[in-house]
């Protein structure tokens, strides 16, 4: 990996780049109090775009000399960068999309700290307080635009998918784009990039200039899944739970492509919400789709869900195999229902206030060995609660696979021990083995070493 030799100075455009002296100081402050450490990590991830490597720990270690500083002067903010990854540049200039991403990092880190965490107004131990925080974070990132009809399609799926699957996500994106739908993903390569690339072309043919490519990420995952430069609205939420909540409140429908542990986490989170009795009548179109070759994958996922959460759960998930146009039409139609419902209930188009997300799903889950040991994976609870517990299992696996903190935990204490209902454990083990075989767990690893151990033998 080469680094750009020269020190570079970036002058972001746009109105967000007006920092106060205090904010500029915070970004350069390398103490615990300051934001420089986090800023440096996120900035490095942003600039690392395009390099396919999902090891968040390795990235930081590979760039010990990377430095970033901000200054306020003359016409506005200046960002000074040393030893940045070379691929962020085109000849001597940083790619404009990445300059915007850097600005977004600055905006979100400062706002999250000063206006959310340090502002007494938000009670982050309370469900409404958290939702209100997500709303403010999204508003500050300009993710909510009034006077737009519901048209945000969330695309979930793996960063490590096959060539055929990747091409399929582009096709789906193309047909969404032709219908002037916008795309929102979790950033990164694979299923999160393909739909955007396709939609760019679809938007172009329709001369749809205001197309939005929204990327929602968080500091823990950004290094492993750097935003593609197509993303034209990037937001860094403070943690994985707020990011998941943002997906559900900002998006109007969801497409799930094949993926690995992260995608399972997302599916289980989604089920945990839409199966909640309070959300019974709220329309939320969901499609699972992929090319013919992904049929086995979806069968495995559906089988696991049906076994653990029942028919009621699998009924919420429409599966369309090798149907890119049908998928786009399903979403288009579903978004019409969403609009009608919001109108009828006087709810905003740009934020799904009505959706109930239980506090349990909002509260940050720290994937430590202790916390994992305390999960309750049993059938003696409502399905939406079991879904919530299961999602934490997969959240932990993602952390152990690619996140800096999680990888450190595994290095220190060995694989996470996952236990619970024996039959569920066996099924989970089977599902995860399938993911490993299909190489969905991590990029480019021929011999994946699991960061978890499924305790299938309870007598042990």
- Shorter beta-carbon distance to a copy of itself: residue 303 or 347: 347
User: CA-to-CA distance for 102 and 97, rounded, in angstroms?
Assistant: 9
Least separation in angstroms between residue 351's CB and a copy of itself is: 8
User: CA-to-CA distance for 457 and 422, rounded, in angstroms?
Assistant: 7
- At 318, is the secondary structure helix, strand, or coil? strand
Strand partners, 318: 287
Least separation in angstroms between residue 90's CB and a copy of itself is: 5
- Shorter beta-carbon distance to a copy of itself: residue 164 or 449: 164
Please answer whether residues 402 and 56 qualify as being in contact, where contact means their C-beta atoms are separated by less than 8 angstroms: yes
Least separation in angstroms between residue 148's CB and a copy of itself is: 8
- Shorter beta-carbon distance to a copy of itself: residue 73 or 311: 73
- Shorter beta-carbon distance to a copy of itself: residue 207 or 311: 207
* DSSP conformation letters of 270-286: HHHHHTSGGGTT----E
- Shorter beta-carbon distance to a copy of itself: residue 30 or 119: 119
Task: Tokens for 57, please give them.
Answer: 């720990």
Least separation in angstroms between residue 330's CB and a copy of itself is: 13
- Shorter beta-carbon distance to a copy of itself: residue 64 or 74: 74
Least separation in angstroms between residue 129's CB and a copy of itself is: 10
Least separation in angstroms between residue 309's CB and a copy of itself is: 31
Q: What is the Cβ-side half-sphere exposure of residue 247, based on CA atoms within 13 angstroms? A: 27
- Shorter beta-carbon distance to a copy of itself: residue 348 or 455: 348
Nearest to 181 by CA among 79, 275, 253: 253
Residues in the chain, overall count: 460
Binding site for a copy of itself (CB under 8 A): 13-15, 17-18, 20-22, 71-77, 90, 95-97, 100, 114-115, 118-121, 132, 135-136, 139, 142, 144-148, 178-179, 197, 200-201, 204-209, 229-230, 232, 342-343, 346-351, 353
Strand partners, 289: 320
- Shorter beta-carbon distance to a copy of itself: residue 22 or 311: 22
Residues 6+ apart with CB under 8 A from 409: 367, 368, 369, 399, 400, 416
Least separation in angstroms between residue 343's CB and a copy of itself is: 6
User: CA-to-CA distance for 139 and 124, rounded, in angstroms?
Assistant: 18
Task: Tokens for 454, please give them.
Answer: 């499924």
Least separation in angstroms between residue 281's CB and a copy of itself is: 18
Long-range CB contacts for residues 94-97, cutoff 8 Å, separation at least 24: 94/8, 94/10, 94/47, 95/229, 97/229, 97/230, 97/231, 97/232
């Amino acid at each position: 990996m080469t680094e750009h030799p020269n020190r570079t100075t970036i002058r972001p455009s746009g109105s967000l780049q007006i920092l106060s002296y205090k904010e500029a100081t915070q970004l350069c402050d390398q103490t615990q109090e300051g934001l420089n450490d986090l800023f440096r990590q996120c900035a490095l991830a942003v600039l690392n775009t395009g390099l396919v490597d999902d090891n968040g720990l390795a990235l930081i270690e590979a760039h010990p000399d990377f430095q970033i500083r901000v200054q306020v002067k003359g016409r506005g903010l200046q960002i000074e960068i040393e030893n940045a990854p070379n691929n962020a540049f085109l000849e001597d200039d940083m790619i404009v999309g990445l300059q915007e991403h850097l600005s977004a990092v600055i905006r979100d880190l400062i706002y999250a700290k000063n206006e959310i965490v340090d502002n007494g107004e938000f009670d982050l131990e309370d469900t409404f307080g958290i939702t209100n925080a997500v709303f403010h974070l999204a508003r500050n990132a300009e993710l909510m635009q009034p006077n737009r009809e519901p048209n945000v399609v969330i695309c979930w799926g793996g960063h490590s998918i096959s060539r055929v699957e990747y091409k399929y996500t582009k096709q789906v994106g193309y047909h969404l784009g032709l219908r002037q739908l916008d795309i929102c993903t979790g950033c990164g390569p694979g299923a999160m990039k393909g739909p955007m690339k396709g939609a760019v072309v679809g938007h172009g043919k329709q001369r749809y200039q205001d197309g939005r490519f929204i990327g929602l990420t968080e500091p823990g995952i950004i290094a492993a899944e750097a935003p593609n430069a197509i993303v034209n609205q990037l937001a860094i939420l403070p943690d994985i739970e707020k990011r998941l909540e943002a997906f559900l409140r900002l998006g109007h429908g969801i497409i799930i492509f094949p993926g690995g542990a992260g995608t399972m986490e997302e599916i289980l989170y989604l089920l945990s919400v839409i199966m909640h009795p309070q959300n019974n009548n709220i329309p939320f179109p969901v499609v699972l789709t992929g090319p013919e070759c992904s049929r086995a994958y979806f069968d495995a996922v559906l089988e696991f869900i049906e076994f653990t959460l029942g028919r009621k759960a699998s009924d919420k998930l429409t599966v369309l195999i090798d149907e890119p146009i049908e998928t786009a039409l399903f979403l288009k139609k579903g978004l019409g229902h969403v609009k009608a419902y919001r109108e009828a209930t006087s709810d905003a188009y740009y934020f799904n206030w009505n959706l109930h997300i239980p506090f349990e799903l909002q509260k940050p889950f720290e994937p430590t060995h202790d916390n994992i040991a305390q999960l309750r994976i049993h059938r003696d609870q409502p399905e939406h609660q079991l879904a919530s517990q299961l999602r934490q299992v997969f959240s932990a696996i993602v952390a152990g696979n690619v996140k800096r903190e999680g990888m450190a935990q595994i290095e220190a204490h060995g694989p996470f021990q996952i236990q619970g209902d024996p039959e569920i454990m066996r099924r989970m083990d089977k599902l995860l083995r399938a993911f490993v075989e299909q190489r969905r767990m991590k990029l480019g690893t021929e011999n994946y070493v699991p960061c978890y151990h499924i305790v299938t033998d309870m007598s042990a």
